[in-house]
């Protein structure tokens, strides 16, 4: 297994708490899209503002697929599988969360991740 690079929004509380939670069980390199050189990944700031990207073993994942990949590698295989089999529902759910980062449900999820020990 090669290096796992996560390109995320380093200004988003949910994003930061999610990355910290993933790092408790998985070694990843994280890049804040606001300050990273995205050209080496052929990505734009506009793309990265909409969704998370994961690069691993010359494969690129984005949005819900990236989340499912990280969950699987972290050992949360059931949740990863649920996201994958949900197809359009998982993708729409991811997009809703990304578009509503300041909503009460998203803030609750962020707080939950922040206080999870494992």
- Rounded Cα distance between 99 and 96, Å, is 5
Mean pLDDT by 10 residues, the chain (118 residues): 92 95 96 97 96 96 97 96 95 94 92 85
Please report the pLDDT score of residue 59 as a whole number: 96
- Please choose, from the candidates 13, 19, 23, the residue with its C-alpha nearest in 3D space to the C-alpha of residue 108: 13
Please report the pLDDT score of residue 1 as a whole number: 62
Q: By three-state DSSP, how is residue 29 classified?
A: strand
| Strand (E) or helix (H) holding 109 | helix 104-114
Please report the pLDDT score of residue 52 as a whole number: 97
Which residue reads 């990236």 in tokens? 66
- Rounded Cα distance between 106 and 97, Å, is 6
Which residue reads 């380093």 in tokens? 10
Bridge partner residues of 6 (DSSP) = 30, 54
Please report the pLDDT score of residue 73 as a whole number: 97
- Rounded Cα distance between 60 and 41, Å, is 9
Please report the pLDDT score of residue 30 as a whole number: 98
């Amino acid at each position: 297994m090669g290096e796992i690079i996560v390109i995320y929004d380093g200004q988003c509380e949910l994003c930061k708490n999610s990355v910290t939670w993933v790092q408790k069980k998985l070694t990843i390199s994280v890049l804040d899209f606001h300050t990273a050189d995205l050209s080496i990944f052929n990505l734009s700031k506009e793309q990265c503002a909409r969704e998370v990207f994961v690069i691993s073993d010359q494969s690129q994942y984005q949005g819900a697929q990236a989340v499912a990949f990280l969950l699987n590698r972290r050992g949360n295989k059931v949740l990863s599988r649920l996201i994958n089999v949900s197809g359009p529902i998982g993708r729409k759910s991811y997009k809703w969360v990304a578009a509503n980062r300041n909503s009460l449900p998203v803030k609750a999820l962020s707080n939950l991740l922040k206080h999870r020990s494992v």
